[in-house]
Structure formats: C-alpha cells, structure tokens
A and B are shown apart, each in its own frame.
Chain A
Amino acid sequence: MQGIMESIQTLCSGDHGNEGFMQDDEDEEEENGVGRLTSWAELLGFGLAVFSEAIAPQLQCFCDRTLGFAVGQGGSREAWIKAVAMAMSLVRKAVKKGWVGALAPAARVMSQALSTASEPITLDIPVPFKAHKVETPSVTVETSAQELTNFFKTMFIMRRMEIAADSLYKSKFIRGFCHLYDGQEAVCVGMEAALNDKDCIITAYRDHCTHLGRGGSVLEVFAELMGRKDGCSLGKGGSMHMYNKKGGFYGGNGIVGAQTPLGAGLAFAQKYLKVEGVTLAMYGDGAANQGQLFEAMNISALWNLPVIYVCENNHYGMGTAEWRSAKSPEYYKRGDYIPGLKVDGMDCLAVKQAVKYAKEYALQNGPMVLEMDTYRYHGHSMSDPGSTYRTRDEISGVRQERDPIERIRKLLLSNNIATVAELKTMEKEAKKEVEDALSKAKESPSPDSDELFTHVYRKGYGAKAYGADRKEVVVKLP
C-alpha cells in the first residue's frame, strides 16, 4: 500500500510522463463528463472514499487485475504507476456512475492492458539466411512483447552466470575445465522459443546455458561447477557433464563430436516410440571435422530420423581458426545430401525462426543442418586467454556490433516495450537472482564419501559390494 501511495504521489507531482497518461484520461473523461484530478490530496481523499466497505469486494477484483497487469509488465515502478492510475480512474467512474455501469468497460480496459503484453509484433531479421538444398525461411518473424522481454531476461541471467563462473574459477572454486558460453546465448535462448518438452537437446561441453534453457536452475549449475551436492549431477559430473532428464537435456559431453551419434540415437528413439519431437544434436566448428558426425549424418539421412544438427560456429576450435582446420568452412553445406541453413547466431529471432523451420522439416523429411554464426567472448576455456589466436579488437568489435543482449535491448526500446529504467530494473533483478543462487550454492556441502561408489551400477554395486562371504560388505574408505 505504501508503495502504491508513493507512486500515486509521484504521478500527481508531474514526474515519469504522467502528463501523457492524464491526457488520455482527460479525453475519456470529456466523453463521460468526469472532472480532472488536480492534486494529490484530492486523489487521496477520493481513494479513501472509494475504499469503503460497500464496494470493497468489487474493488478487490480491480486490485487483483491491477496487480496482474503490473506483474505482467515486469513489475516495475512505471508499470505500477500506470496500472494504479488506470484503476483509480476506473474506480472513480464506477463510483460516479454507479459501479455496475463501469464494471464492463473497466474489465475491457484491464483485459486490453493484459493482452498488449502478448500481442504479436512482426519484425524482420536483418541478416538473411543462406540455404543449401532447401528453401530459406521467411525473414519476417512473429514475436511478442512478452517473448522479447523473456529473451532479454534469460540472456542476461545467462551472461551474469557465466561471468560469475569466470570469477569463481579464478578464485579456485571451480577447478578443471570450465568452458563459458557468453556471447553465444542467443543460440540456446532462440532455440528454446521454438521447442517444447517433447524435443531433446544434446550438446558438448559448453553446456551451462543450455542446461538453464532446458529448465535447470542457476543454483544447480553453480553447485555442479563447484562440485557440491546440490548440483544437477550431484557434484559428480562437473562443468562438462550437466544433464536434465525431465527437461529433455541429454548433456553435457566431454569428447568432441561423440554427442552427435548419441543425438542420432535420441532421434531414433523418438521415431521408434512415435513421439512428435525432434532432437537437436549440437556441436561446434571444431567437431564438424569428426568422422562420427558424418557417420551419424549418413545413418540419420538413410533412416529419415528427426534430428537437427546444429553447428555452433564460433569460428575457433580452441586455438585453431576455422580456415585452418576445415577445407570447407561452410558447415551448413557439409551435410552434402542433407539440406542446411546458415543463420545469424547472435540474433535470437533468427535462431527461433530457423529452428522452427527446421523442426517442421525434420518431422516430415529427416535431418537438417543449421549453422549458427556466433562468437564466444571468452577463450575456449578458462585456461585459454583467448587472445593469442585472435585480436582484442576483433572481440570488442563483435561485442559492440553483434552482441545478442544489446540487440534485444534495442528492440525493446525501439518498440516501446520497455523503458531504459525498466530494463535497468530487470538487470538488477537478474543480477540479484544470480548472486542469491551463488551464495546458496557456496553453502551447499560436498558430496558424502559413499557417493563415490553410488551410481556406478544401477543395482547399487560398489559401496555395498558382495564380499567373499556373500554378506553385504560396506567398504570403508581410508
């Protein structure tokens, strides 16, 4: 209540563009012959009068809808101001005219407010697709304010998570190998927008954000990176082995390219069990030269398996640039008889469009290759500075011109979906979410010693192995 009253105060004191809003209200009021609010005191007095017991239940309904609207718009201060002011004006009308008469238009206005969030917005993808043995999808993509806001929020959380992982690695909370995904977020976020829970994703070791996209939590990722009990693989997998069975995420694989036959197998199972879903077998430009990838492509094309091979081309296979490792760096054409598309991987909407298109194709006709033209800001892993084989100018150039989060930010601002201040609030919330998850993950304990022997075999061999006496012997670790 306090916050609402503050917002109303600000509204009436002339800040935050309330002039425009009052203008609209004035037009409506002119029609209905209702007077204009002139001061905070008047509004307060009015509000108090309105909040009388006689119409309290109906007002509860208005308040709930107001709350719903404000939350739907991101819960920011500006949204609240708009919502409350709208509600107040409607209530005023209700009281003046008899509330029953105003109930209908009030509900209409409210539902209109709520639906603007999911109203379709049509945008054009700036960088055209390149196609191999297939038609390109349309460059006009349908999205909505809600979807774009979600893109922004999710990518921002992913970015903060990866940067936090960077500092965790440097302070030795994370050991071993840590491959960061920042710069490539648009690929997994765009993909998720075109998929559902019947689809499977399998990827290589740069999997923290993919895990998040498939329904994992930031806490699970951090805990797994630090080898704690609350990790998604109970601390036993690590950075390269994150899995989420419920979300249809099959890992998380350490050996380059080995996940592509696994992906073909997932698609085989989907076809065998008659599940209307596709598998996205993701790999990088480095893995694109693996023999098993071509073997898997051959079998999946022969048997028409619903698999989409997604090559995340960040142009460097660790320290080797693509022109030094591939005779033909046009990875979307490397499927030969399998059609392919080259997609701007830094554009969420382009990725969404391509994956949607590929999914429809794969369900009917078999495999397809998607090459996502993307870039990673960090080195290959935390042990690689990332600047010995490419210039810092190149990295900062891509960051300035093609950063996926900035692109969505510009879209949100230019389409009036969010203001600068609202975006700042979203960013602050995302940072807080990541920090909370991090502190919670730091408190999570290491796995118990018995966990060394669990999950080796399904039957529970190991810690409770049968000794020579056929009695259950519990192995005591030194």
Chain B
Amino acid sequence: MPRLLRHELLMFEALREGLGEEMERDPNVCVIGEDVGDYGGSYKVTKGFSEKFGSWRVLDTPIAENSFTGMAIGAAMTGLRPVVEGMNMGFLLLAYNQIANNCGMLHYTSGGQFTIPVVIRGPGGVGRQLGAEHSQRLESYFQSVPGLQMVACSTPYNAKGLMKAAIRCENPVILYEHVLLYNLKEKIPDEEYTCCLEEAEMVRPGTDITILTYSRMRYHVTQAAKTLVDRGYDPEIIDIRSLKPFDMYTIGESVKKTHRVLIVEECMRTGGIGASLRSAIMESFWDELDGPIGCLSSQDVPTPYSGPLEELTVVQPHQIVTAVENLCGKK
C-alpha cells in the first residue's frame, strides 16, 4: 500500500467516505434507515448525503425495522444494493425474522435464482452507560444464520475498506461498528482501496501467544500488550475482522507459530463469537496447541447502567495481562 498521499479523518468520516464513493460509483446503491437523510444519521455517517444524492437514494424511514429491512431485502432481490442502517444494532432484533429467514436463505431456497447484495450496518457494543437495551452485541445472535457474512471494523482504514467491499459483495453482509470507536483518528490513503471481507488483520506480529480479537477489544488488547512487552512477553495480536467465516488460514499460521491462543471479545460468554472460534481452532489445530485456548468475554449479564458495574461486564486490559501470564507461564 503506497503511503505517499494520505489524509487524516475520524472513523465515522471514513465510513462516510466509503459509502459515498460507492454511491457515486453505482447508482443502484441506496441507504435506508431511520434519520439517515435530513438528520444526517445519528452518528453522522450519512451527513450531507441527502443533499448530494436526493431523497430517493437516502431514505428516511418510519420506525419500523422489521418492514424496512424486509423492503431492503425485497429491493435487493431485483438488483438494487441497499445499505440498511440500524440506528443501534440492537434495534435490528426487531428485524430478526427478515434477516434470518429471508436475507440469509433466499439465495439457497430459490436454487440460486436470487442474490441479496444487501449490507446491514450499525453501531453496537457496550457504550458509555447506555443501558442494557442499547448495549447489545448482535454478533452472537446472527452468527449461525447460514448465508450471511459478518465483518467487524475497528480502524478508519478497515472501516472504509470493509464498507466498500461489503457493498460490492454479492452476499448479504452485516458490518458491525462500535459506538465508542466513531471518533478514532487515523491517516488513510487517498487512492481508492478495499479490504478483503474474509481476511484477518495482523496487528502486531509475535511469538509467544496468539491473541485473537475484534472491534473495540482490539484497543484493550493493544493496551495490555504494552504491559506484556514490558514484562518480557511477545504477543502476536490478530484482529480477526471477519466474524463469519473465520479466516482460518491466518489464524492457523499464527497458531502453528506460537502454540498458544487467547481470544478476547466483547460478546457474551455463552454462545458468542469466542465460543465458536474456540471450537473451530480446537478442531483444526489441536496438534499445534500447547495448552487450552483461553477466552475472555463479557459477562452473561444485562449491561448495567452504573459506570463501575459496566466496566466489570467487559474485558479490561489488566484481565488480559493476567490471562496471558497464566497461559504462557510467568517470565
């Protein structure tokens, strides 16, 4: 990637850039969601789009997730490429039937006649004291729906790249953004680029242990890594990015190198992404492992409102340090 011409922006601006470029490139791309048009999007991802592309391509819907997600899927069956925005990922639970039964399955049940090139995106994850119902992590709910692809962005660079790739992809893609990462700043290339939807990202190469993470937990891991390096460890950090399907190649190469795995995620302990990833790694790479696969997830509780309690529900850097020390042995 040539690093000559770059510009700095925030994550939500990167998402906006990616979406805007795709809308200019392909007239069939449209955005559908609550307050995406005149309001500019609740996290400003679609700010300015309604003036630029018109109200027929940036559709403000009434508060009816079930039906507007269904509409997006119906429109996708004819060849349009809608991008559905859930104001908060948790609201898309109301559209669960449409996503699970129609979005994921129509390509299969129609014998390949229809494709559903829809992108469903929105902020999820535990924020700053937003309360239980606005702190949902939907990765675990949708991961077993066949036919869906799921990706989680974590930096402005991969946010723009994944957004573009998701729109161009023929499969339905769910793009998980995180409420707390929208103001991350980074320099990204000026020239056009996309990221591969199915690839994981190497954040920090290492030799002692493979730490697999995604979305906001990437930053807790990198923070913990500073402490670990000080204490003499050499962790390899991989941002898995693709939650469905897993990039077993990159993960496998890393496991063969380090022989120890720790998964750090924000999903719930029960039935989360970590649970699936753990069993996938065990199945494929049992012989390479020197010890059990560690998995740090959020607690199986509704996210409380109180600040300190909320902090206890998600994985904190010091817990990551302790886990690595336990898996690798004291140095």
Contacts and interface: CB of A to CB of B under 8 A. Distances in A.
Q: Do A and B bind each other?
A: yes
A272 B108 contact: no
Interface of B: 30, 56, 59, 61-62, 64, 66-80, 97-98, 101-102, 106-115, 146-147, 149, 169-171, 245, 248-249, 252, 284-285
Interface centre among A261, A265, A270, A299 (most CB of B within 10 A): A265
B113 to A, nearest CB: 4
Contacts of A458: 107, 115, 169-171
B74 A268 contact: yes
A457 B98 CA distance: 17
Contacts of B74: 202, 250, 261-266, 268-269
A126 to B, nearest CB: 36
A467 B114 contact: no
Contact of B62 (A238, A266, A302): A302
A233 B113 contact: yes
Interface of A: 200, 202, 231-238, 241, 243-245, 250-255, 258, 260-266, 268-270, 272-273, 291-292, 295-296, 298-299, 302-303, 454-459, 461, 465-470
A236 B170 CA distance: 20
A299 B108 contact: no
A268 B79 CA distance: 12
Given A233-B110, A457-B149, A468-B248, A265 B77 contact: yes
Contacts of B112: 234, 454-455
The A interface, classified by DSSP as helix, strand, loop or mixed, is loop
Contacts of B248: 466-468
B149 A269 contact: no
A260 B67 CA distance: 8
B264 to A, nearest CB: 22
Interface centre among A202, A237, A251, A261 (most CB of B within 10 A): A261
Contact of A466 (B115, B170, B171, B249): B249
Q: Which 9 A-B pairs have the closest CB atoms?
A: A265-B74, A261-B70, A295-B67, A262-B74, A265-B71, A234-B111, A295-B64, A233-B111, A458-B170
Contacts of A252: 109-110
B107 A299 contact: no
A255 B101 contact: yes
Contacts of A273: 78-80
B62 A241 contact: no
A292 B285 contact: no
B102 A262 contact: yes
Contacts of A238: 109
A268 B62 contact: no
A445 to B, nearest CB: 15
A232 B109 CA distance: 10
Contact of A295 (B62, B149, B252): B62
A255 B69 CA distance: 15
A139 to B, nearest CB: 34
Contacts of B78: 200, 266, 269-270, 273
Contacts of A260: 67, 70
Contacts of B284: 467-468
Contacts of B79: 269, 273
Given A232-B111, A295-B64, A456-B107, A258 B71 contact: no
Contacts of A466: 248-249
B75 to A, nearest CB: 4
A292 B63 CA distance: 11
A291 B248 CA distance: 42
Given A266-B75, A273-B78, A455 B64 contact: no
A252 B106 CA distance: 10
A253 B106 CA distance: 9
Contacts of A468: 248-249, 252, 284-285
Contacts of B98: 258, 261
A265 B71 CA distance: 4
Contacts of B97: 255, 258
A73 to B, nearest CB: 37
Given A258-B98, A269-B78, A298-B62, A457 B171 contact: yes
A272 B80 contact: yes
Nearest to A250: B77
Contacts of A302: 62
Contact of B110 (A241, A254, A264, A456): A241
Given A258-B101, A292-B66, A470 B249 contact: yes
B71 A456 contact: no
A455 B107 CA distance: 6
Contacts of A455: 107-108, 111-112
A16 B64 CA distance: 66
Contacts of B146: 456
Contact of B66 (A231, A245, A295, A454): A295
Given A295-B64, A468-B284, A468-B285, A250 B245 contact: no
A262 B95 CA distance: 12
B261 to A, nearest CB: 14
A269 B32 CA distance: 13
Given A243-B114, A252-B109, A270-B78, 9 more contacts: A233-B110, A234-B111, A241-B109, A243-B109, A255-B97, A262-B73, A272-B80, A303-B59, A458-B169
A341 to B, nearest CB: 23
20 contacts: A245-B110, A254-B101, A255-B101, A261-B70, A262-B71, A264-B74, A265-B77, A268-B80, A269-B77, A273-B79, A292-B66, A292-B67, A295-B64, A295-B67, A296-B71, A298-B62, A457-B171, A458-B115, A459-B170, A465-B245
A235 B72 CA distance: 27
A228 B64 CA distance: 39
B109 A272 contact: no
Nearest to B117: A458
Contacts of A295: 62, 64, 66-68
A231 B113 CA distance: 12
B111 A264 contact: no
Contacts of A465: 245
B111 A299 contact: no
A258 B79 CA distance: 20
B168 to A, nearest CB: 12
A468 B287 CA distance: 13
A258 B98 CA distance: 7
Given A262-B77, A456-B146, A468-B248, A268 B111 contact: no
